[in-house]
Amino acid sequence: MLSKQPAGIAYNKWLDPNHLDETTGALPDDMDLAVGVGAGRALDHAEYVAHKKKVPLMQVPTVVSTGAIIHGFCGDWTGRVIHGVACIVNCEYVLVDYDIALSAPERLNTAGPGDVLCGDAGLSEWRHSAARGRGPAFDAEATRDVIAHRSEIVSRFPATLDPQKHLTCNSVQFIMKAVQDRDDPMLRHLAAPSADHGFCFALELANDRFWIHGEECALGAVIVAWHTGQSPETLIERLDTCKVMFRPRDMDIGRGELRRGLEELPRWMGEEKAGRDTESIMRSEPVTGKRFDECWT
């Protein structure tokens, strides 16, 4: 659909600033438009290119599980550690070819609902703390919209599948809409920390590996629900309904890798020099030692 061949092409390997600067610098300065094609890291890189070259941006996601199709910010990373936001660039258009998205392994799209449903981790912690008489009482009114949004996703998603339970164009559109609508009802409350996302970063940092973001966050949310005794089986059923892979064996996460990630999580959430000082049961009562053995079992 481009009117002419690209003036240059850059391939992203990761979001370390040295890599971004090197690959971006190799592109011509007189470009007219930056076009991001791919999944999360590629789209984030395209934002960085548009920012540095001061040109408009168009995004062409090949999977729809990533928030990069909605958000215009590229993280400020050093290796596998994120410090903040490197730049914010809103794109002119997001173009999605449903056939391309559907040709991807299914899990690369269904991780999208995982990245939305993982927000239940905050609810689990809030309910658990309130039941122990710690912090504010659980506010049903404040959580109504976010609970309703997640319930709607789970109830409506199966109807988008074909008779063989495979994704369809309607599924792709539904996932994009779910990710897009996530932010409006998102629960932002000190009593409801995002240990699910913290788990994702800690797991990758401790093992020097990448996994699929929405699946990692979903696994983190299940562990939080289990650790707080807040009906993990309900969240598991919801994730299965939305075809989200989150079990370690399906994600190729070994026992040692999961243990290292959970050991790293309290340190990651409490790294004040990096602006992180999050109160969470995953920090005050970490899943280590015998508790980890119970978790893995």
How large is the C-alpha radius of gyration of the chain? 20
229 backbone dihedrals φ, ψ, rounded to 5°: 70, 35
CATH 3.40.50.1970 occupies which residues in the chain? 17-96
β-pairing verdict for 57-61 and 34-38: parallel
| Domain 17-96, architecture per CATH | 3-Layer(aba) Sandwich (3.40)
Q: Where in the chain is the domain with CATH 1.20.1090.10?
A: 105-296
- Of the options 1.20.1090.10, 3.40.50.150, 3.40.50.1110, 3.30.230.30, the CATH number for the domain spanning 105-296: 1.20.1090.10
Per-residue CA distances from 288 to 167, 253, 261, 262 (Å)? 38, 17, 10, 7
**pLDDT tens across the length of the chain (297 residues):** 778 899 999 998 888 888 999 999 999 999 999 999 999 989 999 999 999 999 999 999 999 998 888 888 788 877 777 777 888 898 899 999 999 999 999 999 999 999 999 999 999 999 999 999 998 999 988 899 889 999 999 999 999 999 999 999 999 999 999 998 887 766 677 788 889 999 999 999 999 999 999 999 999 999 999 999 999 999 999 999 999 999 999 999 999 999 999 999 999 999 877 778 889 999 999 999 999 999 999
| Residue 292 burial by Cβ neighbours in a 10 Å radius (0-12, 13-18, 19+) | middle
* 167 Cβ contact partners less than 8 Å away, ≥ 6 residues apart: 102, 106, 109, 110, 160, 161, 243
Tell me the C-alpha distance between 29 and 53, whole Å.
Answer: 6
With vertex at residue 240, the alpha carbon angle to CA 152 and CA 284, rounded to the nearest 5 degrees, is 90
Is the Cβ–Cβ distance between 202 and 260 less than 8 Å?
Answer: no
CA distance 221 to 225: 6
pLDDT of residue 14: 84
Task: Say if residues 35 and 2 touch (Cβ distance below 8 Å).
Answer: yes
- pTM attached to this predicted model: 0.92
For residue 184, the one-letter residue type is: D
